Structure 1
Amino acid sequence: MVFAGMVALVLFSSFVLGYVWIRSEYDQFSRQSAEIRQDFLENQKVLLSSETRRSVDNMRFMANRTESVLKDNIRNRTEEALSIAWNIYRKFGSDRPEAEVRKMIREALRPIRYSDGRGYFFIVSIDGVEVLYPVFPESEGKDVTDLQDERGNFVIREEIKVVREHGEGFVTGYWKKPGQETSEASPKISFVKLFEPFDWYIGTGEYLDDVEAAIQKDALDLASSVRFGVKGDKRLFVRTFEGEDLVDGRQAREDASRLLGDDPASRERIIEEQINAAKQKPEGIFVEFLVPEKGEHVSSENLTFVMAVPEWGWVVGSGVLTDEIEEMITAGGERLREKVIRRFIQISLMVLF
């Protein structure tokens, strides 16, 4: 009887100690889970904001340099055209008739194109006669000093003035782009430079919005190539203020649609919230929302960081599903459960044998 009582006491004590140990393990796991969850969120916030800021800073830098990039390009192109003209003049100017040399220069520049065929060279005499205008050759040989842009500016007169006073310079005109006659006039910046032997000036120009579009394409190509995160599965998204997707930034995994869900109405609402938040705080803001459940999946929390690029009317950001950490914690709970079961079996065997 005494032995049985001792055995019962030992068993009871073992189970009490086992319970205390198990409870301690689970309490510790709960505390660690809370710390892991908080650390995960903080790390994700740093990761999302730093990658988004880096991309937006680059976009803003590129946007602010649009005009300077245009001017550098057309200045360099004009210098190339002048180099061609001078080479022809130095080689043939002394032993060929002047009219022939003029024609040689004109025809050498006529077919040259750049910037995907948009750019070309023109020549105007210092007294306002069109010498070369390859996109509208019918104007060649005619006086164009009275030519006005869409705002009534006498652009040729301004070019002549710049060349007479400074030898070279930039002039801005406002024109309706070919094929877009119903649209508003676009600013076109030209660079002109004097060619002294024939009292000509040679120049070229580019529409500001064409250069901006090319720069935007480069910016989008760069943004679409960005990968970050431990698995390299996080990407940026870029949208217009109107909600048009420019770069698909959903995570590259099989269930990527969970970032925004597949319900059109819900997606539209979420995107609108992100855009409005970015427009109100262009410097950056975190937006949290629930992604509606899909099939067997429960609703998931999405943490997104968004910034605005007002210069281009864009919103840039990246997001993460916070259930990623819950999956990690659940896996940790499973490991703890297995550990507890093994420990319980060990204690039971020690007590019984």
Structure 2
Amino acid sequence: MATKRSLVNTVLLVILIVVSFMAVSLGYFLVANEIKKFDVQSRQYQEEYVNFRKAMIKDEIDIVISYIEFKKNQLNRNADLSLEAVQNDILNWINQIRLRQNQYVVVNGFDGTILAHYKKKNIGKNMWDFTDANGIKPVQEAIKVSKHPEGGFIRYVGSIRPSTGKPGKKITYARSIPEWEWTVLTGIYMDDIENVIEQREEALKRNIRTNLIRISLILAVVFIISLVFAKFITERLRSNFAILESFFNKAAEKSETIDQDLINYSEFQDLAISVNQMTEERNLINEKLNKHQRHLESLVEQRTKALEETVHKLNIEIKERNLAQKDKEIKILQLQEALIEVKTLQGLLPICANCKKVRDDTGYWHQIETYIENRSDAVFSHGVCPDCMDNLYGDKAWYKKR
């Protein structure tokens, strides 16, 4: 017979599986929550930082625009100043502006010509048809958004970045001086923002790792506590099962009951009550069975004696019948032998008065010798009597000479 699985071990296994599942689920939930929180915080921080930098470059361009407006007012108030001189003064001032590392202010004409740039060799170049790696024409887009009252932002892949020597993603803010057909703009590289965000994300990752370590420690403690608790439960279950097993082993030999005070769990107490009731009922049934058995044994003994007497009488009667049967068989044999020796014809025989044929029971006529031979042991041998010889051959010469 195949070995059955232990219920106690099964209970322990189920508890461990449930606890492990709960621990893994809780861990997964906490980790997923931390990752989700990280993603939300990362996107939020990225959005906040980008908005902060956009607001910063907007403020910087607004300051430049304010300076240009100030110079325009001076031009309007001072007739000695020429427009060209004021514009050149403004452009020279803008060429010298360094807002921070890799950030500068550019002035383009509405036709795409560079009017101010920190690299003097770029001044005078027309960038109207310049196209970035994504097919965007940033000069045209900047001029377009700059004509809005509050200016506007554009995103594109810039030209070669001075610090890296490679193209970089940029966010640029532009405002226009409509009467001069100028577009004043500045921008920031996105990888600067991404570097800051990466640092922030690294800090968030460290925080997540710390939280995961804490969560793992908590889950480990919970698992150990659950394991100890499961072990305690299984030991008590084993104790209860041992009591039941001992009872059933002894119940085969003698009637015993289970001490309910030794049982720890109500389910096993209910089982013990049922088992004790079953034992009491079995004892009552055994007493009734023993009583019936004794009664049956008495009846069997009485019937046995009566049957023995009847059998004795039958044996005597059988012997007498056997003797009578033997006598009968002897007489039958004697009669059969007599019948064999004696076979005669009896009764009235219908015979023809002329031809002497005899009629049988079926109405057929037979020669008398055939009829007698078929119904007796007689056998005919034909010959001719003297009278018939005289009648048949009396006139014959050969007969007369005899």
Question: Which one has the largest radius of gyration?
Answer: 2
Task: Name the one with the larger helix percent.
Answer: 2
TM-score, length-scaled by structure 1: 0.46
Q: Per chain length, whose mean CA-contact separation is higher, i.e. which structure has more relative contact order (CA < 8 Å, sep 6+)? A: 1
